Amino acid sequence: MKNLAMHKSVAVWLFISVAPVLSAADDALPQGEYLFHAAGCATCHTQEDNKGSPLAGGRALKTAFGIFYSSNITPDPDTGLGRWSEADFQRALREGISPEGKHYYPAFPYTSYTQLTDADLRALRKYLLSRQPVRQANRPHELPWYLRARPLLSFWKMLYFRPGVFQPLADKPPAWNRGAYLVKAVAHCGECHTPRHFFGGFKEAQYLAGNPHGVDDTKIPNITPDRKTGIGKWSASDIADYLETGMTPDGDFAGDLMADVIDNSTSVLIREDRRAIAAYLKSLPAVESLARSPKK
Partner 1 sequence: MMKHGITRKLLFTGMMLAALVPLGLSAAEPEDVIKYRKNVMKAIGGHTSAAAAIVQGKVDYKAHLAEHARALQVLTKDIPALFPKDSDFGDTEAKDAVWTKRADFEKAAKNARTKVEAFAKAVQGGNQQAMAASFKDMGEGCKGCHKDFRKEEK
**Which residues of this protein are in contact with partner 1, per CB under 8 A?**
217-221, 245-260, 262-263, 292-294
Distance CA 74, CA 111 (A): 22
- Distance CA(187)–CA(243), nearest Å, equals 12
Reference 191, options 179, 178, 181, 200; nearest CA is: 200
Q: Which is nearer to partner 1, 14 or 247 (CB)?
A: 247
Return the number of the residue (90 or 267) whose C-beta is nearest partner 1.
267
Smallest separation (angstroms) from partner 1 to the CB of 29: 28
CB of 242 to partner 1, least distance (A): 11
* String of DSSP letters for 101-146: SPBPPTTS-HHHHTTS-HHHHHHHHHHHHTSPP---PPPPPB--GG
By beta-carbon proximity to partner 1, the closer residue of 120 and 191 is 191
CB 277 to partner 1: min, Å: 18
CB of 289 to partner 1, least distance (A): 12
**Residue 88 vs 260, nearer CB to partner 1:** 260
In contact, 139 and 240? CB cutoff 8 Å: no
Minimum distance from residue 203 beta carbon to partner 1 (Å) = 20
Identify which of residues 109 and 210 has a Cβ nearer to partner 1 in the complex.
210
- Pick the closer one to partner 1 by CB: 78 or 256: 256
Which H/E stretch holds residue 244?
Answer: helix 236-245
Classify 269 as helix, strand or coil: coil
Do residues 228 and 294 make contact, with C-beta atoms less than 8 angstroms apart?
no
CA 84, 132, 28, 118 torsion: positive or negative?
positive
Q: How many CB atoms lie within 10 A of CB 30?
A: 22
- Cross-strand pairs, 202: 196
Least distance to partner 1 from the beta carbon of 132, Å?
Answer: 24
What does each C-alpha distance from 81 to 12, 29, 111, 117, 130 come to in angstroms?
Answer: 28, 17, 20, 20, 11
Select 21 or 247, whichever has its Cβ closest to partner 1.
247
Q: How far is the CB of 51 from partner 1 (least distance, A)?
A: 13
